[in-house]
Amino acid sequence: MNPRNILSIASRLDRIGIPMVRFGVAIVFLWIGFLKFVPYEADSITPFVANSPFMSFFYAHPEAYHAHLTHEGQLDLVQRAWQVANHTYSFSTGLGVVEIVIGLLVLSYLFSRKLGLLGSILAFLTPVVTLSFLITTPEAWVANLGDAQYGFPYLSGAGRLVLKDVLMLSGAVVMIADSARQILQQDFVQAG
């Protein structure tokens, strides 16, 4: 095949790429939103919420979270009772509902460009908050436990997870631009 033909085909991949970004963003919001109803996921976001100046007020005792952390898959009834009293699970459930709504709004572009735009804007704002965890959450960085590599720029598992939201932010910008373009085209067609 001629290299120019390959480039010509590649130059049109945005026609499937933009819908792929939309579905990818929606899947992430829906899946993680549903996981927010499960205690292990709620437990795992505790350090982020407890250290966030935007969210810590949702917890009854954000300053005490260190003593009550569990590992994924670990059932500790004492820690679970503390998390219930701390409002960890009720906050996580509320956040899950918000994430599911955002995922559904992102998908709604299939029948409503304006709802799709709203979903895209919310999908943009969410990682802005999430990326702030890199500044506010000590657990985002490798702790000083004796190895030479700790602190900035050494992201922990939690920090690497948060850093991936740069892609979500970028995808949301593409979705916003596409939604706005589609709304303008629709308005132009209706006006003409």
pLDDT at 75 over 90: yes
- pLDDT for the residue 128: 93
pLDDT at 52 over 90: yes
Neighbours of 66 (CB within 10 A): 11
Predicted TM-score (pTM) of this structure? 0.90
Q: Mean pLDDT over residues 117-123, rounded?
A: 97
More confident residue, 186 or 116: 116
| Sign of the dihedral through C-alpha 62, 89, 108, 175 | positive
- pLDDT for the residue 189: 77
Angle, to 10 degrees, between the axis of helix 88-107 and the axis of helix 14-35? 160
| The residue to which tokens 């100046």 are assigned | 53
> What whole-number distance in Å separates Cα of residue 45 and Cα of residue 49?
6
The angle formed by the CA atoms of residues 28, 70 and 128, to the nearest 5 degrees, is 35
